[in-house]
């Protein structure tokens, strides 16, 4: 049986409805949930372990800053062909190019701000699961699927903003129709309508999202 790592990213955490619906779609694949917990890994772990292969790339700093900006929902899932099934459900990395019915096509904000990380091959899955098992506390006999279902139930009917609105802001910024400051203000206002996070946590995301847009 294959095992893989799935992370609900900061945009999926803050945008409560979208994150919950993404997780619900993953459960509906019939995969086994071996671990589920909301936690905040150390920035150094993300930078020097999880994303170390990207160090030096143009998007690395933004990626690490974004992924360490809030808590993450950490999931280990297993099943036959689980990596292929989940990756197909997620859709392409760049959400504008993803199938509209995929998770990223439906809920992704812009470019790589795409709600969910998932291991992209069996080799990567094996490496990521072993890595994250170093920092999580796996409890024998715990019903992690039930924990995940409880999280989904809490947020699946939360207020939401259509992802199209975020992509309109992204397009306007990319084309120079609005400034970075204007884009940050709009994105901040949109995020606050979708979340119960406190203002200090939400305030970190608009600048990181707009930076991601401008990185090209």
With 0-12 / 13-18 / 19 or more C-beta atoms within 10 angstroms meaning exposed / middle / buried, residue 159 is exposed
Core vs surface per residue 87-121: b (16+ CB within 10 A) or e: bebbbeeebeebeeebbbbbbbbbbbbbbbbbbee
Residue 216: predicted pLDDT: 72
Q: Which helix (H) or strand (E) holds 166?
A: helix 163-174
H or E element, residue 40: none
Note if 50 is an active site residue.
no
**pLDDT of amino acid 112:** 85
Tokens of 23: 């997780």
CATH topology of domain 2-155: Alpha-Beta Plaits (3.30.70)
Phi, psi dihedral angles at 215 (to 5 degrees): -70, -20
73-124 pLDDT per residue, tens: 999 999 999 999 999 999 999 999 999 999 999 999 998 899 999 999 999 9
Long-range CB contacts (within 8 A, 24+) of 54-58 = 58/215
The whole model's pTM is what? 0.96
Show pLDDT as tens, one digit a residue, over the chain (216 residues): 899 999 999 999 999 999 999 999 999 999 999 999 999 999 999 999 999 999 999 999 999 999 999 999 999 999 999 999 999 999 999 999 999 999 999 999 998 899 999 999 999 999 999 999 999 999 999 999 999 999 999 999 999 999 999 999 999 999 999 999 999 999 999 999 999 999 999 999 999 999 999 997
- Say if residues 103 and 25 touch (Cβ distance below 8 Å): yes
Helix (H) or strand (E) holding 77: strand 72-79
Domain ranges of the chain: 2-155, 163-214
Amino acid 1: pLDDT: 83
Between helices 180-192 and 205-214, what is the axis angle to 10°? 130
Which of 109, 117, 183, 187 is the catalytic position?
Answer: 117
């Amino acid at each position: 049986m294959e095992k893989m790592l799935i992370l609900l990213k900061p945009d999926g955490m803050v945008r409560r409805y979208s994150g919950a619906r993404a997780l619900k779609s993953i459960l509906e694949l019939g995969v086994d949930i071996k671990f589920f917990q909301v936690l905040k890994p150390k920035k150094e772990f993300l930078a020097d372990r999880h994303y170390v292969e990207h160090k030096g790339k143009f998007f690395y700093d933004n990626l690490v800053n974004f992924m360490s900006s809030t808590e993450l929902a950490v999931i280990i899932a297993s099943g036959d062909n689980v990596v292929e099934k989940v990756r197909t459900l997620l859709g392409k990395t760049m959400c504008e190019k993803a199938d509209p019915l995929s998770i990223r096509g439906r809920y992704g904000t812009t470019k790589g701000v795409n709600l969910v990380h998932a291991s992209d091959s069996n080799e990567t899955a094996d490496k990521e699961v072993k890595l994250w098992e170093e920092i999580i506390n796996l409890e024998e006999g715990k019903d992690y699927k039930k924990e995940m279902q409880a999280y989904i139930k809490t947020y699946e009917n939360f207020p939401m903003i259509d992802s199209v609105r975020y992509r309109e802001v992204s397009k306007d910024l990319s084309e120079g129709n609005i400034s970075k400051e204007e884009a940050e203000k709009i994105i901040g206002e949109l995020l606050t309508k979708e979340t119960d996070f406190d203002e200090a946590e939400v305030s970190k995301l608009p600048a990181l999202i707009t930076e991601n847009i401008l990185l090209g």
